């Protein structure tokens, strides 16, 4: 593997130098030795400026350029398109699947988009306008119209001829969709079966009528769950009249999964929207500061719970140190429940209506874990401050706060999901407010009750 | 969609009742109206016991049963295999891809596994033993040996005949691997191109020699990254001699991605290993309590930082309330940096060696956000306690703690990754220890310094 990596690094440097020095590039040869994803990595190198991109994408081999552009991310695609003449863009587009073209067009200023659509073939332009009509994060926004759909009354030999003709222009050839003469989707067939069947058999006798479909407006996360559940290579998107509008393919689903996953990670950490670690500091502040301000409000709420008991703390200063253990452990236990619940929601396993009784499990769990952790803490506190009552207050407060943590950690994300919010983004802030405020309040409240025994 | 869901629910209930009442099932008809993933959902219903499973899987249509078993998760597969006679298992296995069989065998007790391997065809048994030799979470553990590989000197027409013959037994037909006569992998061809080429053309003239390969020992997460980067439908797994050992397919990669994603969510919340929200309470305690105990140690460390300043707090009780704001905001800001860093690590964008200088960005960010948040807090505190010096102490402590939060949130996960730990699992505990302890220490330390001005 090491030498393989070494080779890749050398190829990267060689191509970079070639572009910087404007040496002519034999694209056929380049296509053979380097994968387009690796060529994209070169073009994404900090050393490559807009002029370099313009030069690279002005080569004659538009099919090769289309492959490269397809592998680039949104930012690089936008930079490239910005550098090129409209006529060149149209020629490159002619080699790209139209869901990719729709994605690129969707990110362009409205007038460039209109101009490009006008320059295309009428049929392409119509298809693209339909695709552009769907939100990016829906099944319709993900789908491509380049699939194979054949009438059910074709024979295997007729079907194979059609497939041979359409195949170069489609994204998926393994799954062949089958339509009736009203162009409604009635089934699907596996290319494997078509290849091995008797030539005179009709498609309707091979096809599986049990075809999984989704609505174009379905959210991308749920679309991904359908593809995963049924292990599909291509998912059919249909309207109410069962007309096939397009297909969503596995590679698009993987991109969705990565997007949702990294979004969840950021949201759980309290960063709204996308942020890259090496990005502009201004963007980072914009993404993080508002959320910190929200956090600040909750920090003040928790601090107020303490302020109520200022006089108690003035008498027993040790409380200030011990109370942070109770609130902190509540936060930790709550995060555990929260992450298990968010995982359940992400996998579509739980919802508020059916599964709220599971909260009783979390209550029991909070009480048991609270008793265990509380007892350990209480004993240590007793030996440290030589006061058995302080130890007992700790045990009681810990049990109470861990039960609250379990209830909050389970119900908060479910309620947020129910009212249409992203549970990963906002759950933890509500949770911490609960566990901090209640932790301080229960502990200091009990301490006040037992005050004569503590001083 | 609503009526679609209604239909699914009715089918679910109908099948459940049919199984419970032991009514004969027409599997051909069932296969047509229900997807195997939905049949699995019925078998996974709490109402289905082991006897029911045994009855269901003793039907004659083994091909249908293989489809269903393939869609089941590990736990259900184990239950089913446990109920069946060895001879029936073997007959069902004969309709399953061998990476799935290897997965099931891998979870069986060693003697059942050996017995089943002995009962199989020698060639199948040999292939399975190779697959069983790889760890589950490596490319070798994910791969299947059911691919199409053809010699480079075949013509298109010869290739198509071979493909027609092998196709029903393979997982992927879109990608055809091309071997030289030493059986080394030399390229790949797209079935599309083979279908549309002149029948006399040689495979070596159609093939793309630039084929992405990985070592069988590569970790599954990195394997998934390769498949995603190059948008592959099938990734070739080869040994050092460039012999093709197997292929990893997109659906296996999706399963890996979900596994890694949900693992990350659990780990970030402080739950080690798998835990399902509706699982046994004993398992939940086992997964969560040890981690809470670790947390308890860090809570005591932070509490000790406060205990040092007991006498200061005894004089100015308000400090106990304000200090939690400083430590809490440090934790929040640190979580933000942490999540952005973990996302970067997950996507393979950053590592300690090359990107440690980015820590300076986090320092600047911590100082700026700290100044903003500190100023707001300081002003509120000033108006609440009418003490300008307390407000100033808050501003200074907030800037200091948010800088520490930025540095820790960035470096901790990178260092953990460098030494081979999962950053999602253990980062937040180290981070909270830092931000709590330092937050209390800086704030109370400064308060002690300015004590005469605060009382």
- Mean of the per-residue pLDDT values of chain B: 88
Share of chain B above pLDDT 90, in %: 42
Q: Helix, strand or coil for residue B324?
A: helix
pLDDT tens for each residue of chain A, 455 residues long: 456 778 888 889 999 999 999 988 888 888 888 888 889 989 988 889 999 999 999 988 999 999 999 889 888 998 898 889 888 999 999 888 888 888 888 888 878 888 888 888 888 888 888 888 888 889 998 998 889 999 999 999 999 989 988 888 788 888 999 999 988 999 999 998 888 888 899 999 999 998 999 999 999 988 998 998 888 889 999 998 899 999 999 888 988 888 887 787 788 777 776 777 777 888 888 888 888 888 899 899 999 999 999 899 988 989 999 999 999 999 999 988 998 888 888 777 788 888 888 899 999 999 999 999 999 999 999 999 999 999 999 999 999 999 999 999 999 999 998 888 878 777 888 898 899 999 999 999 999 999 988 87
Question: Which residue, among B71, B120, B114, has the nearest Cα to B91 in the 3D structure?
Answer: B120
* Two structure tokens written together for A449: 């009750």
Q: Which residue does chain A place closest to B276, by CA atoms? A: A340
pLDDT value at residue A388 = 93
Q: How far apart are alpha carbons B275 and B256 in whole angstroms?
A: 17
Q: How far apart are alpha carbons A34 and A43 in whole angstroms?
A: 13
Half-sphere CA count of A171, side-chain side, radius 13 A = 24
Contacts with A190 (C-beta within 8 Å, 6 or more apart), sequence order: A174, A175, A176, A208
Whether B339 and A33 lie within 8 Å, measured CB to CB: no
Token pair 């093939």 is found at: B207
pLDDT value at residue A255 = 85
- pLDDT one-digit tens code per residue, B124-169: 888 888 888 888 889 998 998 889 999 999 999 999 989 988 888 7
Whether B347 and A255 lie within 8 Å, measured CB to CB: no
pLDDT value at residue B1 = 46
Share of chain B above pLDDT 70, in %: 99
| Strands A185-190 and A213-214, sheet pairing | unpaired
Asked if A224 and A215 count as a contact pair (C-beta separation under 8 A), the reply is no
Residue A213 is inside which H or E element, if any? strand A213-214
Q: Helix, strand or coil for residue A150?
A: strand
* Two structure tokens written together for B141: 């553990």
DSSP string, B228-253: HHTT-SEEEEE-TT-BEEEEEEHHHH
pLDDT value at residue A152 = 95
Whether A250 and B250 lie within 8 Å, measured CB to CB: yes
Q: How far apart are alpha carbons B432 and B337 in whole angstroms?
A: 12
Question: Which chain A residues are within 8 Å of B234, Cβ to Cβ?
Answer: none
Question: Which residue, among A428, A424, A429, A291, has the nearest Cα to B337 in the 3D structure?
Answer: A291
Residue B273 pLDDT grade (very low, low, confident, very high; cuts 50, 70, 90): low
- pLDDT one-digit tens code per residue, A87-114: 899 999 988 888 888 888 888 887 888 8
Asked if A325 and B303 count as a contact pair (C-beta separation under 8 A), the reply is yes
**Closest Cβ–Cβ partner in A167, A208, A313 for B195:** A167
DSSP annotation of B208 reads B
- pLDDT one-digit tens code per residue, B71-106: 898 889 988 988 898 889 999 998 888 888 888 888
Residue B207 pLDDT grade (very low, low, confident, very high; cuts 50, 70, 90): very high
pLDDT value at residue B98 = 81
Determine the average pLDDT of the residues in B253-264: 83
pLDDT value at residue A1 = 45
Beta-bridge mates of residue B22 = none
Q: Helix, strand or coil for residue A236?
A: strand
Q: Helix, strand or coil for residue B214?
A: strand
Residue ranges of domains in chain A, CATH in brackets:
1-132 (1.25.60.10), 147-251 (3.10.580.10), 281-453 (1.10.357.20)
**Closest Cβ–Cβ partner in B258, B292, B329 for A296:** B329
Whether A254 and B250 lie within 8 Å, measured CB to CB: yes
- pLDDT one-digit tens code per residue, B216-238: 999 998 899 899 888 888 999 99
Asked if B273 and A272 count as a contact pair (C-beta separation under 8 A), the reply is no
First to last CA, chain B: 67
Question: Which chain A residues are within 8 Å of B273, Cβ to Cβ?
Answer: none
Q: Which position has the higher pLDDT, B69 or B351?
A: B69
Whether A321 and B306 lie within 8 Å, measured CB to CB: yes
Residue A335 is inside which H or E element, if any? helix A318-346
Residue B184 pLDDT grade (very low, low, confident, very high; cuts 50, 70, 90): very high
* Two structure tokens written together for B301: 């460390």
Other residues' Cβ atoms within 10 Å of the Cβ of residue A281: 12
Question: Which chain B residues are within 8 Å of A288, Cβ to Cβ?
Answer: 333, 336, 365, 369
Asked if A93 and A66 count as a contact pair (C-beta separation under 8 A), the reply is yes
Contacts with B96 (C-beta within 8 Å, 6 or more apart), sequence order: B66, B69, B70
What distance in Å separates residue B240's CA from the closest CA in chain A?
A: 9
Contacts with B138 (C-beta within 8 Å, 6 or more apart), sequence order: B216, B217, B218, B219, B220, B223
Q: How far apart are alpha carbons A242 and A19 in whole angstroms?
A: 50
Question: Which chain B residues are within 8 Å of A317, Cβ to Cβ?
Answer: 310-311, 313-314, 317
**For testing the chain A interface, which of B67, B339, B351, B414 should be mutated: the one with the most A CBs within 10 Å?**
B339
């Amino acid at each position: 593997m090491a030498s393989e990596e070494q080779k890749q690094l050398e190829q990267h440097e060689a191509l970079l130098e070639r572009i910087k020095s404007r040496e002519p590039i034999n694209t056929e040869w380049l296509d053979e030795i380097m994968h387009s994803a690796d060529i994209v990595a070169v073009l994404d190198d900090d050393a490559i400026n807009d002029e370099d991109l313009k030069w690279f994408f002005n080569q004659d081999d538009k099919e090769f350029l289309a492959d490269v552009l397809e592998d680039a991310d949104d930012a690089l695609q936008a930079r490239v398109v910005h550098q090129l003449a409209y006529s060149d863009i149209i020629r490159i587009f002619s080699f790209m699947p139209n869901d990719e073209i729709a994605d690129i067009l969707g990110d362009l200023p409205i007038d460039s988009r209109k101009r490009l659509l006008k320059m295309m073939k009428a049929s392409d332009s119509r298809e693209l306008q339909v695709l552009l009509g769907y939100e990016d994060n829906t099944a319709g926004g993900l789908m491509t119209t380049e699939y194979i759909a054949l009438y059910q009354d074709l024979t295997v030999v007729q079907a194979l001829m059609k497939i041979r003709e359409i195949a170069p222009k489609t994204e998926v050839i393994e799954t062949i969709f089958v339509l009736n003469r009203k162009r409604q989707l009635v089934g699907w067939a596996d290319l494997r079966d078509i290849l091995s069947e008797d030539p005179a058999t009709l498609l309707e006798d091979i096809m599986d009528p049990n075809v999984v479909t989704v609505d174009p407006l379905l959210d991308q996360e749920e679309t991904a769950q359908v593809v995963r559940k049924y292990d599909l290579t291509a998912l059919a998107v249909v309207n109410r009249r069962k007309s096939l509008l397009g297909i969503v393919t596995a590679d698009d689903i993987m991109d969705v999964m990565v997007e949702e996953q990294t979004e969840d990670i950021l949201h759980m950490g309290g960063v709204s929207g996308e942020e890259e670690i090496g990005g502009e500091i201004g963007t980072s502040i914009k993404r993080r500061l508002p959320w910190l301000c929200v956090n600040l409000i909750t920090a003040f709420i928790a601090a107020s719970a303490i302020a109520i008991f200022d006089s108690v703390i003035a008498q027993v200063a040790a409380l200030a140190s011990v109370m942070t253990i109770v609130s902190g452990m509540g936060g930790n236990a709550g995060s555990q429940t929260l992450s298990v619940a968010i995982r359940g929601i992400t996998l579509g396993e739980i919802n508020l209506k059916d599964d709220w009784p599971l909260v009783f499990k979390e209550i029991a769990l909070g009480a048991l874990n609270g008793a265990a952790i509380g007892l350990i803490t209480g004993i240590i506190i007793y030996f440290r401050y030589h006061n058995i009552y302080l130890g007992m207050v700790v045990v009681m407060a810990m049990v109470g706060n861990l039960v609250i943590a379990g209830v909050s950690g389970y119900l908060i994300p479910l309620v947020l999901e129910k009212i249409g919010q992203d549970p990963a983004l906002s759950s933890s802030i509500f949770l911490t407010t609960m566990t901090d405020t209640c932790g301080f309040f229960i502990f200091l409240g009990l301490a006040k009750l037992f005050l004569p025994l503590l001083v």
